[in-house]
């Protein structure tokens, strides 16, 4: 139960579609703060995650709420755009009021061995973020080996990432246990060497409470309890929240309720 509530509080409620509308973002922002009002004292999610063009809408809705606004940037999801555009993309999102930036790395450059380029790019975006925290999406589904995942994690961490994140959610496979474990080990290694914490965000494919709890156990075993807050660990997910709500209510009442009793926003 404690674990389930923690999961809720770690979710980045996400909508990243070409067909997103201001209306949909508004609804999601409301849901983010009122997960299931018929059950009192539930935590809110950690953040909402939207495209840069929707940051303004979300800011207006969330005002001074504790729920943060994360915006994807740098030509999400492909990252296939010139540097100037990526920087502008990032500055725009921050200017609109984003608290967090989820950037994608240039996988093509990484795979062709231009690791310096990837490093410099992340460092430049980090600078453009200003006060906003930077999550670096490795898109592990395109990196093909765990060795690459580890290398990309190390590059992102050294270039100044506040969080490393598995996937855009647009490519399969996304946040598998193996990939998340590899990235957690990179974070652990960095912490052991420098004493600096880096956050972790598995995204894509974690849609059930059970899988989310598996992830929390992994974080606890690899990194320790200090990572078990939404400051250092997030789930990028669109449908996880309702499954967790369903499990919480089941634990409370002893009965599973129909999915129709949980709002889809």
Partner 1 sequence: MWDYAPSLESTGHIDLKESYDLYIDGKWVKPSSGKYFETINPANEKVLAKVAHGNEKDVDRAVKAAKKAYDTVWSKMAASERAKYIFRIARLMQERARELAVIETLDAGKSIRESRDIDVPLACNHFFYYAGWADKLEYAFPNRNFEPIGVVGQIIPWNFPLLMAAWKIAPALAAGNTVVLKPAETTPLTALKLAEIIELSGLPAGVVNIVTGFGDTGAAIVEHPEVNKVAFTGSTAVGKHIQRAVAGTDKKVTLELGGKSSNIIFEDAPIDQAVEGIINGIFFNQGHVCCAGSRLFVQESVAELVVRKLKQRMDSLYVGDPLDKNTDIGAINSKEQLEVINKYIKIGIEEGAEMYQPNCEIPSKGYFCKPTLFSNVAQSNVIAQEEIFGPVLTIQTFRTVDEVIQKANNSPYGLAAGVWTDKGSRIFNLTTKLRAGVVWANTYNKFDPASPFGGYKESGFGREGGLHGLRAYVKLK
Would you call 86 a catalytic residue per the annotation? no
DSSP state of 131: T
Instruction: Please answer whether residues 166 and 140 qualify as being in contact, where contact means their C-beta atoms are separated by less than 8 angstroms.
Output: yes
Alpha helices, H only, the chain: 2-9, 22-33, 55-62, 83-96, 107-111, 115-129, 146-158, 177-194, 209-222, 240-253
- Of 86, 89, 165, 265, catalytic: 165
Would you call 265 a catalytic residue per the annotation? no
Q: Which of 259, 263, 187, 249 is nearest to 218 (CA)?
A: 187
- Tell me, by CB under 8 A, how many residues bind partner 1: 9
Query: Is the CB of 58 or the CB of 219 nearer to partner 1?
Result: 219
- Smallest separation, CB 131 to partner 1 (Å): 30
CA–CA gap between residue 146 and residue 178 (Å, rounded): 8
Q: Which of 192, 254, 255, 260 is close enough to bind partner 1 by CB under 8 A?
A: 192
Query: Is the CB of 99 or the CB of 189 nearer to partner 1?
Result: 189
Query: Is the CB of 193 or the CB of 196 nearer to partner 1?
Result: 193
Instruction: Please answer whether residues 124 and 83 qualify as being in contact, where contact means their C-beta atoms are separated by less than 8 angstroms.
Output: yes
CA–CA gap between residue 148 and residue 139 (Å, rounded): 11
Instruction: Please answer whether residues 19 and 206 qualify as being in contact, where contact means their C-beta atoms are separated by less than 8 angstroms.
Output: no
- Smallest separation, CB 224 to partner 1 (Å): 9
Query: Is the CB of 220 or the CB of 250 nearer to partner 1?
Result: 220
Query: Is the CB of 145 or the CB of 172 nearer to partner 1?
Result: 145
- Smallest separation, CB 221 to partner 1 (Å): 5
Exposure of 253 in the CB half-sphere (CA atoms within 13 A): 11
- Most distant pair of Cα atoms in the chain: their distance: 55
- Smallest separation, CB 251 to partner 1 (Å): 12
CB atoms within 10 A of CB 251: 11
Would you call 165 a catalytic residue per the annotation? yes
Name which of residues 209 to 238 contact partner 1 (CB under 8 A). Answer: 217, 220-222, 225, 228
Q: Is there binding between residue 185 and partner 1 (CB under 8 A)?
A: yes
- Of 68, 86, 126, 201, catalytic: 201
- Of 12, 89, 102, 265, catalytic: 102
Name which of residues 141 to 180 contact partner 1 (CB under 8 A). Answer: none
Q: Which stretch binds partner 1 (CB under 8 A): 34-42, 43-51, 72-80, 184-192?
A: 184-192
Q: Which of 199, 53, 49 is nearest to 134 (CA)?
A: 199
Task: By CB under 8 A, name the binding residues for partner 1.
Answer: 185, 188, 192, 217, 220-222, 225, 228
Which residues are catalytic, by number?
102, 165, 201
């Amino acid at each position: 139960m404690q674990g389930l509530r923690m999961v809720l509080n770690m979710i980045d409620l996400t909508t990243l579609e070409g067909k997103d509308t201001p209306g949909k973002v508004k609804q999601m922002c409301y849901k983010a703060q009122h997960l299931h009002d018929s059950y009192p004292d539930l935590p809110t999610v950690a953040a909402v995650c939207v495209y840069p063009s929707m940051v303004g809408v979300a800011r207006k809705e969330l005002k001074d709420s504790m729920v943060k606004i994360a915006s994807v940037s740098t030509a999400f999801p492909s990252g296939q755009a010139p540097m100037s555009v990526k920087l502008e993309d990032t500055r725009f999102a921050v200017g609109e009021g984003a608290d967090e930036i989820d950037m994608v790395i240039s996988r093509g450059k990484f795979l062709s061995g231009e690791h310096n380029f990837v490093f410099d790019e992340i460092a430049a975006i980090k600078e453009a973020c200003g006060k906003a925290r930077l999550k670096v999406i490795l898109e592990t589904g395109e990196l093909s080996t765990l060795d690459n995942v580890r290398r990309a994690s190390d590059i992102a961490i050294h270039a100044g990432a506040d969080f490393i994140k598995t996937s855009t959610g647009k490519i399969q496979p996304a946040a598998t246990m193996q990939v998340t474990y590899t990235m957690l080990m990179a974070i652990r290694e960095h912490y052991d060497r420098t004493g600096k914490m880096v956050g972790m965000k598995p995204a894509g494919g974690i849609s059930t409470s059970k899988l989310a709890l598996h992830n929390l156990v992994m974080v606890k075993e690899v990194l320790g309890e200090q990572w078990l807050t939404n400051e250092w660990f997030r789930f990028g997910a669109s449908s996880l929240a309702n499954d967790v709500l369903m499990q919480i209510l089941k634990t409370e009442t002893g009965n599973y309720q129909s999915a129709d009793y949980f709002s889809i926003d």
